[in-house]
Structure 1
Amino acid sequence: MITEKPSATKGMSQSSRILILQSLIPIATSLTATQLEGFTLRLGEALFKLSDQSVRPEEANISFHSYNHIKKNSSAFYRLASSKLSELFAREVRILEKGHQQRQLEDDASLALVTFDEMENKVLLETLTQAVELDNADELVKLNLRISHLLKIDQMSVKTNPFRPEVFLKAIYKAWCEFEPVSDSHHLMLRIMRPEIFLQLNPILRELNNALKDRGILPKDTDLYKFNKHKQSPASASSTLSKKQTVDPFFESKIKGILYANQPTEGEQQLNPNDFGAPNSNGNGSGSNYSSNHGAANAGANPGSQSGAGTPGTITIDRAFFEYLTGIQSKTVQIGSENHNATTLRGIVDQAPVNTISQIDSNTIGLLAKIFDFVFSDPHIPADLKSLIGQLQIPTLKAALIDREFFFKQTHPARVLIDTLAKSSVTWNPDKGVDDPLYKMIAKTVERVQNEFDQQLELFTDVAADLTQFIEEEERISEKALEEPIAQAIQQEKIRQARELASNDVAARTDTGEVAGFIESFLEQQWVNILVLAHTVKEQKPQALERTLKTMDDLIWSVKPKNSVEERHELVNKLPALLSSLNTWLNAIKWEDPSRVIFFSKLAERHASIARAPLEVSARRQVELAVNVAQKASERSMQKSRMDHSIPDQFVFFIDQIERGNWFDFTRNNGSVVRFKLAWVSPRRSRFIFTNRQGHDAFSISSEELIEIFRSGRAVLISDDPVVERALQAVLDERSE
């Protein structure tokens, strides 16, 4: 047994430990709730796809009904899922608190007699659980270790973790069973479920780990390693999980290595101020200082201490330096929106009062300058708005000096504002210039920060909220302008879907190789249009589809050999109704050209030859007919296989990932570039509507057309990742080269 070092859990009662575990329940529930909309859309798409492709009418009907049900009542499903999640998490924590005996009782109760369908559903659920566990192995193993440490358990397996994937899956499944009372849909839901359709658990588990880290539960990766080394043998770290490599897990520590670097020591990578174009400054703070302890700025703290001792816990800012920055800020207000760039920041190190800038201050200035370099070099942000954003360099620097979490937390108020300004700037219409309401709003935002900001970070929150509200209001107005284009696109997708279904109906018959050549051509060229019409009105007139399918099947049957007197009598009796039905449907699609007469002439000849053919067919002829049918079926199968195994390129995958709200630069034939946002995506992602910020100049385009545009390089996605995060990553990439 390992002897634990003093930690946050040292001397803590068992009830207190359980309370910490219970505090994770609302975190897990709320984080899951943010994903329920996306999950519901993916589930609905899977159900809809199954209803299209299923060859079993009953299964197709059930999946289509479930698709409509969840589409119309998604809010009810969200509430049920959240309730079940909270309920099961609480139950799992109680079981963990009461120990092995309680879990055994629960397991015994689950072994009561169940139906075969229930057993099959249980197997499907277990299979899916294993797949999701593998996808989230790294964070799940860490959570196992932290909960084990918290509760003083020698070893915790995945099966006893209250927040394991199985619990999420069971909660969603229970919610579905209550939401959709048709029992057959329960099995159907589990059958179509895949890890890529289900919730993305990795970010949820990561936040649970972070919540425990914040409470001092194995806060470092090295602590995890040491604890795991003593608690588990190398082979049992996770019996069912395959650990994955994480992508750059030391991002935060690398930034801290830059920001909190003091005097370089041998073998230690420290900040070189020349990397940022700023001279080194090793001055000690003198006089009164501003002290920042986790983001709070206080005047007159520790006047005799070294300014910026280099430890994140206690950071001091020289009063004279802070007042110097306030003076620059006032001058910037007077100058107005002249061209600004990151040299504004870099010049501070040289021009500030002597011995007022500590090493960490210099590092902060240099790192922030790099961030603004990135903003100014972003080709998608218009130059006029770069100048406006550039006026916030000094207020942002003051905010970062007060609370250096600016570099680590996306929710830092100043960082939120910079990210929001950069993202909204992309949508500005240069043709309208300064008269664009967005430009005026951004200018007003910048002006308010320049005039009012001193030490209250809440100001950044207020102005960012105002800007966000303005953007959201514009979006609401633009949505109204899209009602007609969306209605047209939905109709186009409906027709496309109907054509796909109709083609599948025909292919299901012709792929057997038993359909006569001229009948096959007729079905693929003419009857498919009748089926499209029938599928289009299926919801209003389901009998129309049934009749068209029956007429098609009767036509195919009518030209097959009839080797008995009874079959030939049946053909004679059915022909009048069949020919009448064929003509009625062909009139509906207005097929009036001469080929119609030729078709019916061939059909009559075939029927006559069937009636005249000998009742007895020689064995040789039977073999010839069977070989011809098999060869034809084989050819169609090979052709279909080649189509099914065609490898989609990166652009096919790309348009599956783009989302509403993404902005793109489109290059016209004359070389000019126009900017549009993706305003709407059809449920089956076969049509996309793009528009400008106000919802005008909308155009609809098919998925095939859009793929070709991207493939030819005539459209480029504008990244909507937060600009500060991208800038910091660029700094790290630059230093690693």
Structure 2
Amino acid sequence: MDTIPHPSPETITAKKSSGHATSDAGRKAASSNASRLLLLQNLVPLAANLASSQLEAFANRLADELFRLSDQAVRPEDAKTSLDAHLLLKRNNTAFYRLVAGHITAVLSKEVSIFNTRKRAKKEDLYLDNTAQTYEQMEEKILLRHASQTLEVTSAEPLVMLNTLIGRILNRMPIDVSQNPFRPELFINSVYKAWQELDPNPDSHLVVLRLLQPQIFIQLTPILEEINQELMSKGIRPDGDDAMEGTHGLHSFLPAATPIAQNPLMQAKLKKVFSGDVELAPISLEDAPVSMMDLNEERAALDSTIEAQNQLDELDKETVDRQFFEDLVEMQKNFSKEELEEFPYKSNLRKLLKTASALRLSVIERNSIELLARIFDYILADQTLRDDIKRLIAQLQIPILRVALSDIDFFLRDSHPARTLMDILGSSGLVLDAERDPLLEKIGDVIERVQSEFDQQIDLFSNVVTDLENFLKEEEQRAQEAISQPVQTALTEEKMRISREFAEHDVAIRVETGEVAGFLESFLQEQWIRILTIAHSVKDEKPHALENALKTMDDLIWSLKPKNSADERKELIAKLPAMLTLLNAWLNAIRWDEPERVLFFSKLAERHAAMARAPLELSPRRQLEIAVNIAQRASNRRLDRFVHDKQAHLDDEASKHVDELDIGMWLDFTDELDQVSRYKLAWISPKRTSFIFTNRQGAGAFSISGEELVRRCRNGDVTTVVANSLVDRAMTFALRELAS
């Protein structure tokens, strides 16, 4: 999201002179913004105190390292400089503490105060150095940058979390490391400035700066973790329900594996890559056979490299860096789409590593290029992506490389705007409907905008991601409107389905007693369930209807039970007329006019007549036989129901899979001809008995019951489309051979 700009003094004066009062909405927004910044300001003392508590141990480590360096130095002047610095620090440790603490507090306070106006760092600020004039100045800035990047890698996990939390405080996407007011660069600069003030001897400045490594420096991880805990205790959550929801676009609704940012093994591999301890060797998806032409090209490239190296020895780092940056810009301008007509597609980023300007890049920078080349190799060979999507993604190689070289967060943070764009494109490639899909045209516009407008500001990626997500949200709204009628139909069907389940239960618990006559049991299960279903479906509007239907059923069952006393027979004769009237009224309501109705009432009359003629007194033997028969029937009914329920609630993998489905997921349906069609789960009924699927734009909607969906999953005819982060999958491939 874009940074909210602060109004200039001239703007404020103009508004006051025009007599326009600030609106309530404006005051609330200003108050909310001020409270958010106040929350950040309150973190400054916490961070400063945590850093100060480590200063004594840090100073001791630095002093010990300076003494060790003086003992091992080859040149006498180097040994003397290190020893003098060691003695100075030992004699003035209190002054050093005070200077460091003061600088940390001052710089953190300043960064928080200007935070809301800070943009992401430009490419030349992070990658090129146009201000260094002398070799010493250039080396100083390179050392500062390297020390900062090393600390960013070692503290990557809490730093990424802090970026996310601060982004949520200000209702933005996760901020960039260069915007973080507690980034490692500020602590490094504070310590370095403190040393410069403590020791006026410039010879010691670079010596100390080289020693500001993670094993010696202030431990930033516990500081950042404590800040994160403080923010979370204030109710700020990395997965909170705020404006950040949905920032991953289409793929946020699809099942995914654990992100790389939460995978310790992958994080360890990335730390090794960006520590500079190893250099990635160029690889590809498959090893191609080496031809004589390939060998000749390699020899020519080697000769060119040697010649270029000789020329570069005469150039300074600044000139080399500027030349490489210009090569990138030129390559982006002259990107040939004709290369994308060749198949299979492959990354062309490795060409950069053979350019003259790339020979003096650091190991970390060369690793970034090779890692990104591997990522694009994987993406452009991915069989799950359509060729038209691959062709579009391939055009992002140079802009993404420029981002990755200036912001290591691209590899470390899965919510990085440029990485988010790649993941949305990957997810979109799985669900495009046709050649002329509007989404494909939108993606083409986004790619063209990145190619033509991207210069240094990573904010452009945030803007195009927001633009693309807004397009998807509008499309989703239209799709929801398109299925409104099928949803209403499905809701009605589910209501009737649930009402029938209640009706079946009402009949079952009465039949289970074993006291219901055989012909009456059939009548209740075939006809009266229909009546009870209607009664249950209207019970909210007409509750007396359900009570009446249940009472009529109970009276009918009672009427066919043995009557062993004169009073019971008199009661039966008295109730029969009203009961038969209600019975016929309900049967008329369901329009049961078949001949079976006449037969049923004939049997019912015969049973009532037989009961009136039966002797009042039954022998004990006969009473026992009747009781045993009733108990046996009851036992059989309960067993039948138990088996039925057991089968109906079979808890297998298919049913678990359907239970885990959520709106927005995509599933593949295989028909009888083994043709696969992809549909989105657009709606689930409240009781999960009905599911509606559509294409992405809401067309071709169809409904399927939960039972049928479970059955088809069990048969393998329905499978979920898993769309893990495209960049995560590609990076896992790219680092597969690297030990953690």
What TM-score bracket applies, with the shorter chain setting the length?
0.5 to 0.7
Q: Which residue of 2 aligns with 1:555?
A: 556
Equivalence for 2:532:
531
Letter in 2 for 1:712: N
In structure 2, relative to structure 1, the CA distance for the partners of 1:505 and 1:377 (3 Å cut) is: farther
Report if aligned partners of 1:286, 1:318 keep a CA contact under 8 Å in 2.
Answer: no
Residue identity opposite 2:369 in structure 1: I
1:413 match: 417
Structure 2 Cα separation of the partners of residues 438 and 203 of structure 1: 28
Kindly tell me: are residues 712 and 331 of structure 1, through their superposed partners in 2, closer, same or farther at Cα, counting changes over 3 Å?
Answer: farther
Paired with 2:623 and 2:714, the residues of 1 have a C-alpha distance of: 52
Offset at 1:333?
Answer: 5.9
Aligned-residue offset at 1:639: 2.5
Alignment-derived partner of residue 634 in structure 1:
635
Q: Would you say the 8 A contact 1:262–1:360 is kept in 2?
A: yes
Cα distance between partner residues in 1 of 2:678 and 2:490: 21
The match for 1:424 is: 428
Query: Residue 53 of structure 2 corresponds to which residue in structure 1?
Result: 10
1:297-347 Cα distance to aligned partner (Å, 9 max, x none)? xxxxx9769x9xxxxxxxxx9333332222221122665864583431234
> Partners in 2 of 1:706 and 1:613 — Cα distance?
54
How far is the alpha carbon of 1:250 from its aligned partner?
Answer: 1.0
Alignment of 1:208-607 (within 5 A): 249-260=263-274, 262-263=276-277, 271=280, 273-274=282-283, 318-332=321-335, 335=338, 338-339=341-342, 341-351=345-355, 353-430=357-434, 433=435, 435-607=436-608
Q: Which residue is equivalent to 1:728?
A: 731
- Specify whether residues 548 and 324 from structure 1 end up closer, same or farther in structure 2 by C-alpha distance, changes over 3 A only: same
- Native 8 Å contact 1:375 1:723 kept in 2: yes
Contact 2:261-2:414 at 8 Å conserved across structures: no
Distance in 1 (CA, whole Å) between partners of 2:623 and 2:696 is 69
2:594 alignment partner, SS class: coil
Task: Report the Cα distance in structure 1 between the residues aligned to 2:383 and 2:580, rounded to whole angstroms.
Answer: 66
Preserved CA contact (<8 Å) 1:277 1:346 = no
Amino acid at match of 2:641: K
Residues 512, 633 of structure 1: 8 Å contact kept: yes
Matches of 2:388 and 2:657 in 1, distance apart?
Answer: 31
Residues 670-694 of structure 1, C-alpha deviations (whole Å, 9 max, x = no match): 4433332111111111111111222
Q: Is the 8 A contact 1:380 1:718 kept in 2?
A: no
Partner of 1:663: 666
Task: Indicate how the Cα distance of structure 1 residues 163 and 7 shifts in structure 2: closer, same or farther if over 3 A, else same.
Answer: closer
Instruction: Give distance in 1, aligned partners of 2:371 and 2:358.
Output: 21
C-alpha spacing 1:408/1:513, structure 2 compared with 1 (3 Å) = farther
Question: 5+ unaligned residues in a row in structure 2: which ranges?
Answer: 1-48, 56-100, 106-160, 172-221, 241-259, 288-297
Task: Quote the Cα distance in structure 2 between the aligned partners of 1:321 and 1:459.
Answer: 22
SS at match of 2:335: helix
Which amino acid is 2:368 matched to? Answer: T
Residue pair 1:273, 1:362 contacting (<8 A) in 2 also: no
Q: How do 1:21-170 and structure 2 match up within 5 A?
A: none
Aligned residue for 1:360, secondary structure, equals: helix
Query: Counterpart of 1:420 in structure 2: which amino acid?
Result: I
Residues 396 and 447 in structure 2, CA contact (< 8 A), matched pair in contact too: yes
1:649-676 per-residue CA deviation (whole Å, 9 max, x = no partner) reads: 2121111112222223333334433332
Q: List per-residue Cα deviations over 1:465-486 (Å, max 9, x = no partner).
A: 1111111112222222111111
Give the total of aligned pairs: 498
Give the conservation status (yes or no) of the 8 Å contact 1:678–1:690. yes
Q: Specify the alignment match of 2:696 in structure 1.
A: 693
In the alignment, the residues of structure 1 paired with residue 284 and residue 398 of structure 2 have an alpha-carbon distance, to the nearest angstrom, of 20
- CA shift, 1:516, in A, is 1.8
Aligned-residue identity in percent: 43
Counterpart secondary structure, 2:593: coil
Matches of 1:9 and 1:653 in 2, distance apart?
A: 53
**CA distance change for structure 1 residues 559 and 486 in 2, over 3 Å: closer, same or farther?**
same
Structure with the bigger RCO (C-alpha within 8 Å, sep 6+) is 2
Look up the match of 2:609. 608
Aligned to 1:649: 652
CA contact (8 A) 1:273 1:363 kept: no
Q: 1:634 to 1:367 in 2, by over 3 A?
A: farther
- The CA distance in 1 between the partners of 2:513 and 2:524, in whole Å, is 14
Q: Which amino acid aligns with 1:627?
A: V
Give the Å deviation of 1:437: 2.2
1:150 and 1:349 map into 2 onto residues whose CA distance is 41
CA apart distance, 1:271: 5.0
Q: Deviations over 1:688-735 (max 9, x none)?
A: 111122222211111122223333333332224322233334556676
How far, CA to CA, are the matches of 1:694 and 1:588 in structure 2? 42
CA contact (8 A) 2:347 2:377 kept: no
Question: Are 2:321 and 2:357, in contact at CA under 8 Å, matched by a contact in 1?
Answer: no
SS state of the match for residue 719, structure 2? strand
Q: Secondary structure at the match of 2:712?
A: helix
Distance 1:629 1:202 in 2: 63
Change (3 A) 1:354 1:271: closer
Is contact 2:690–2:703 with CA below 8 Å preserved after alignment? yes
Judge conservation of contact 2:679–2:695 (CA < 8 Å) in 1: yes
Work out which of the two has the higher radius of gyration on C-alpha atoms and give 1 or 2. 2
Tell me the amino acid that sits aligned with residue 360 of structure 2: T
Instruction: Find the residue that maps to 1:611 and give its secondary structure.
Output: helix
Could you say if the C-alpha distance between residues 256 and 163 of structure 1 is closer, same or farther in structure 2, counting changes exceeding 3 Å? closer
Q: TM-score, normalised by structure 2?
A: 0.59
For structure 1, the residue ranges without an aligned partner over 5 or more in a row are 1-5, 17-22, 34-145, 152-160, 169-200, 205-245, 265-269, 290-301, 308-316
**What amino acid maps onto 1:367 in structure 2?**
L
TM-score (norm 1): 0.60
The Cα of 1:501 is off from its aligned counterpart by 1.1
The alpha-carbon distance between structure 1 residues 202 and 473, as it changes in their structure 2 partners (threshold 3 A), is closer
Q: How far apart in 1 are the matches of 2:606 and 2:651?
A: 46
**Change in 2 beyond 3 A, CA 1:374/1:497:** farther
Alignment deviations for residues 375-408 of structure 1 (CA, whole Å, 9 cap, x no partner) = 3344442211111111111211111111111122
Q: Which amino acid aligns with 2:549?
A: T
Aligned partner of residue 457 in structure 2, secondary structure: coil
Task: Please report how far the alpha carbon of residue 366 of structure 1 lies from its aligned counterpart in structure 2 after TM superposition.
Answer: 3.0
- Flag the 1:554–1:371 CA change in 2: closer, same or farther, 3 A: farther
Residue identity in the other structure for 1:619: P
How far has the Cα of 1:534 moved from its partner? 1.3
SS in 2 for 1:598: helix
**Mapped partners of 2:584, 2:404: distance in 1:** 79
Report the Cα offset of residue 442 of structure 1. 0.8
1:232 corresponds to which residue?
none
Partners of 2:413 and 2:518 lie apart in 1 by 68
CA spacing shift, 1:561–1:700, aligned 2, 3 Å: same
Compared CA separation, residues 330 and 517, structure 1 to 2 (3 A): same
Partner secondary structure for residue 617 of structure 2: coil
Distance in 2, matches of 1:352 and 1:387, equals 28
